[in-house]
Amino acid sequence: MGFIREEIRMIRERDPAIHSNWEVFLYPSFRAMLHYRIAHKLYLKKHYFLARYVSQRGVRKTGIEIHPGAQIGKGLFIDHGNGVIIGETAVIGDNVTLYQGVTLGGTGKEHGKRHPTVGNNVMISAGAKVLGSFRIGDNSKIGAGSVVLSEVPPNSTVVGVPGRVVRRFNMQLPQDTLSHNDLPDPVREDITCLQKANSVLTTRLLELEDEMKRLRSRMSEMEKEGEEKDEP
C-alpha cells in the first residue's frame, strides 16, 4: 500500500491531467512500475526467467520496457511512456521524469555496466536517447530528441545530436519545475551569432571600400597636381 500511496502522490503532483486517485491505476507508468518491482524482486533472487516473464507482460500491457535488473529509486514518473526502454544495468535516482520514447541503453554488446546512471531530479524529454555507461548529474535536463553519449555534469541542460551542454548552473530546481518546453536552441543561437558576425564583417567591408575610394580619389588629385607643376 505504501507504493500505491507514493505513486498517487507523485503522479498527482506532476500530471495536471489527473482528476482522481483512481485514475492512477490506469496510468501506464503505475502499471509498468508495478510489474518492474515484482520482476526486480524475482531478479534479485536469481529467478531470471520468471523475472523476464513478468517484465514482458508489463511491456505488452504498457509499451514500457524496463529490464528487471535495472535499479530505480523513488518517484520515477514516466509520462505517457510508450516506447520507453530502460536497460539492465541502468541506475535511476529519485524523482526522475521520463517522457515517451526515451531510451536508457548501451552502445554495443559489451558486458558489465553498460547503461547510464541517472541522478536525482533529472528530466529526460520525449525521444531522447542516452547511450552508454556514464552519469547524468543531478537536476539536469535532456532536451527532446537529443542523443547523449557522454557524461553530463550536475545542474546542466543538454540538447542536440550529439547532445552537448548548453547551460550550467542556471537553476537548481525541484523536479516539478523542470519544464521540458523551456530549453535553449543551440542551432538557432549559432545561426544568430553567425548573422551578427556576418553583419559586422559586411559593415567593415563597406567601410574599407569607402576608405579605398577616398584614397584613390586623393591619389588621383595628387597626380593631377603633380602634372600641373611639371607643365612649363
pLDDT in tens, 33-58: 999 999 999 999 999 999 999 999 99
* Separation of alpha carbons 162 and 143, rounded Å: 11
Interstrand relation of 97-99 and 164-168 (parallel, antiparallel or unpaired) = unpaired
Which superfamily does 2-184 belong to? Answer: Hexapeptide repeat proteins (2.160.10.10)
pLDDT of residue 131: 93
Beta bridge partners of 91: 71, 117
Q: Is the preceding peptide bond at 174 cis, omega within 30 degrees of 0?
A: no
Of the candidates 38, 12, 42, 49, the one whose C-alpha atom is nearest the C-alpha of residue 27 is 12
Q: Which long-range contacts (CB under 8 A, 24 or more apart) does 146-151 make?
A: 148/116, 149/107
pLDDT in tens, 100-111: 999 999 887 677
Q: From the CA atom positions of the chain, what is the Rg in Å?
A: 29
Count of H helices and E strands in the chain?
Answer: 4, 15
Chain centroid, CA 201 distance in Å: 35
* Separation of alpha carbons 66 and 52, rounded Å: 10
pLDDT of residue 176: 47
pLDDT of residue 52: 94
* Separation of alpha carbons 33 and 38, rounded Å: 9
pLDDT of residue 172: 46
> 612649363: which residue's cell?
232
pLDDT of residue 174: 43
Q: Are 170 and 155 in contact (CB under 8 A)?
A: yes
Q: Is the preceding peptide bond at 162 cis, omega within 30 degrees of 0?
A: yes
Name 39's Cβ contacts closer than 8 Å, sequence gap at least 6. Answer: 51, 52, 54, 55, 58, 66, 68
Using 70 as the pLDDT threshold, list the residues of the chain that sit under it: 1-2, 109, 167-188, 225-232
pLDDT of residue 173: 44
